[in-house]
Homo-oligomer: A and B are copies of this chain.
Amino acid sequence: MPAHTVRHLSQALNIEDLRTLARRKVPAFAFSYVESGAEDHATLEHNREVFKGLRMIPRQLRDMSEIDTTTQYFNRPVSLPFAICPTGYNGMLSRHGDLKLAKAARKFGIPFIQSTMSTSSIEAVAAELQGNEHWFQLYVLKDRAISQRLMRRAADAGCETLVITTDSVIIGNREDDRRNFVRPQVLTLAKKLNVALHPRWALDVLWPDGVPIFGNLTEFLPKDQWSTAGGAHFISQQMERALDWKRIDEIREDWSGKLVIKGLLHPQDIALALKHGADGVILSNHGGRQLDGSVSPMEQLPAIVERFASQCEIFLDSGFRRGSDVAKALALGARGAFLGRATLYGLAAGGQQGVETALRMLSNELETCMGQLGCANVHDLMATQMIVPSAPSLKHSLEDA
Contact = CB atoms under 8 A, between A and B. Distances in A.
B393 A293 contact: no
A109 interface: no
A4 interface: yes
Given A176-B2, A245-B61, A14 B42 contact: no
Interface string A39-59: 111100010000010111111
Contact of A390 (B13, B52, B392): B392
Given A2-B176, A55-B293, A167 B388 contact: no
A196 to B, nearest CB: 20
A342 to B, nearest CB: 15
A120 interface: no
Interface string A230-266: 0000000000011111011000000000000101111
How many copies of the polypeptide does the oligomer hold? 4
A216 to B, nearest CB: 23
Interface in A86-141: none
Nearest to A169: B64
A1 B41 contact: yes
Interface stretch (A153-161, A219-227, A367-375): A367-375
Given A14-B39, A175-B14, A170 B300 contact: no
A386 B295 CA distance: 10
A335 interface: no
Nearest to A2: B176
B241 A64 contact: yes
A274 B62 CA distance: 16
Q: Interface size class for chain A?
A: 35 or more
Given A39-B322, A372-B170, A60 B14 contact: no
Q: Which of A55, A300, A324 has the most CB of B within 10 A?
A: A55
A393 B365 CA distance: 25
A61 B295 contact: no
A291 B54 CA distance: 13
B64 A242 contact: yes
B266 A63 contact: no
B291 A372 contact: yes
A57 B32 CA distance: 26
B393 A272 contact: no
The 5 closest A-B pairs by CB, nearest first: A170-B371, A65-B242, A60-B166, A291-B372, A390-B393
Interface of A: 1-2, 4, 13-14, 32, 39-42, 46, 52, 54-65, 166-167, 169-170, 172-173, 175-176, 178-179, 241-245, 247-248, 261, 263-266, 268-269, 272, 285, 290-296, 299-300, 322, 324, 328, 364-365, 368-369, 371-373, 386, 388-390, 392-393, 396-397
Given A46-B55, A57-B295, 19 more contacts: A42-B52, A57-B266, A57-B300, A58-B285, A61-B243, A61-B247, A61-B248, A61-B272, A62-B244, A64-B241, A170-B368, A170-B371, A173-B364, A173-B368, A291-B369, A292-B322, A388-B396, A390-B392, A390-B393
